[in-house]
Amino acid sequence: MTKKSSLKKIYEIQKKIRLVEEKIASNYIKNKMRCPTHLSIGQEAVAATSGLALQENDISISYHRSHAHFLAKGGSTKKLFAELHGFEEGCSKGIGGSMHLVDLKNNFYGSTAIVSNSIPIGVGLAYSIKLAKKKNLVCIYIGDAAVEEGVFFESINFSILKKLPVVFICENNFYSVYTHIKDRQPKNRKIFKLAAAMGAVSHFYKQDNPFKLHQKFDQLFKKIRRQPMTHFIEIETFRHLEHCGPNDDTPLGYRSLHDLKKWKKKDPLIFSREYLTKNRLLNNRQIETLDKKINNDVDKDFRFLSKLKKPKFKDISRLVYKR
């Protein structure tokens, strides 16, 4: 992949995730999505850049805010939409919902609703890789609140001890639901330093420039495949919408409109577009054409739902249990 095509792809993945989640947000009010949904609008750069750096046989696993990770690993937009609407054609047969996505074909081994619940699963998968003497890795996406759970410490300790090919990517958006990290964790303690104190090779990355972020992920993942070791990455980011749902929640008062505007001003998606035009990699007309194509594809995949039929209650045992 050339530099130009790589940069274009990074922008394209971010834009696709943004449009998919905006489609979810704008249609959520129709009350046809029968599950809670945690959107990552504003946080797409982390998933897009790390997902592109992962190889096909690398495994990723996520948490409740997982749409972006699912899509960045190659997950089907149609199957995501179908899952949220409870159709059998969904990635989890329509019975998992937004927080329980899976795509084994693309080695996305799932997401779970319980905070930190996917961490030991990811570490176990990495242990199987080591036992089989394979050269791939496991990417475990977590939020900042995950490091406040006991299973995080147990799992990362085991991973470090066994020198497993694991990279923890912590998307620190500062809030666990409505509670700021300063009210949950000791003052001035960086999460990546906490992981470093346990023995993980730790890093602090910024999402501001997605192209540089992708380079860092790409170099690190290659290193882990050559030399299995547990790495931990903290990236500060910010969700534009409420913790769970499609709305702006700044009127609730737990976070300020000033902070939201500050983070929107340095939106990585906006930076990516401006970088491509300023460096004459794409002009405005080319980007508009690309945006239109992505938008049309998302619209088409959403219209796919109109062809589907809801499963009946009697189908539950067939969908849940293999015979």
For the chain, the domains span 3-308
User: What pLDDT score does 323 carry?
Assistant: 54
Helices (H), the chain: 3-28, 44-53, 67-72, 77-84, 119-131, 150-161, 191-198, 210-226, 257-265, 268-278, 284-303, 316-320
Residues with Cβ within 8 Å of 221's Cβ and at least 6 positions away in sequence, in order, are 53, 54, 55, 58, 137, 139, 167
Among the listed residues 106, 95, 135, 142, the one whose alpha carbon sits nearest the alpha carbon of residue 121: 142
Distance CA 311, CA 90 (A): 11
Would you report the helix, strand and coil content of the chain in percent, each value rounded to 5?
Answer: 50, 10, 35
Q: Are 278 and 284 in contact (CB under 8 A)?
A: no
Distance CA 145, CA 152 (A): 10
Q: Are 141 and 169 in contact (CB under 8 A)?
A: yes
- Quote the tokens at residue 176: 């666990």
User: What pLDDT score does 322 carry?
Assistant: 64
Could you tell me which CATH number the domain at 3-308 has?
3.40.50.970
What pLDDT tens digit does each residue of the chain (323 aa) get?
777 889 999 999 999 999 999 999 999 999 999 899 999 999 999 999 999 999 999 999 999 999 999 999 999 999 999 999 999 999 999 989 999 999 999 999 999 999 999 999 999 999 999 999 999 999 999 999 999 999 999 999 999 999 999 999 999 999 999 999 999 999 989 999 999 999 999 999 999 999 999 999 999 999 999 999 999 999 999 999 999 999 999 999 999 999 999 999 999 999 999 999 999 999 999 999 999 999 999 999 999 999 998 877 777 777 777 65
Instruction: Kindly report the backbone phi and psi dihedral angles of residue 73, in degrees, each rounded to the nearest multiple of 5, phi listed first.
Output: -90, 5
Among the listed residues 154, 71, 146, 60, the one whose alpha carbon sits nearest the alpha carbon of residue 110: 60
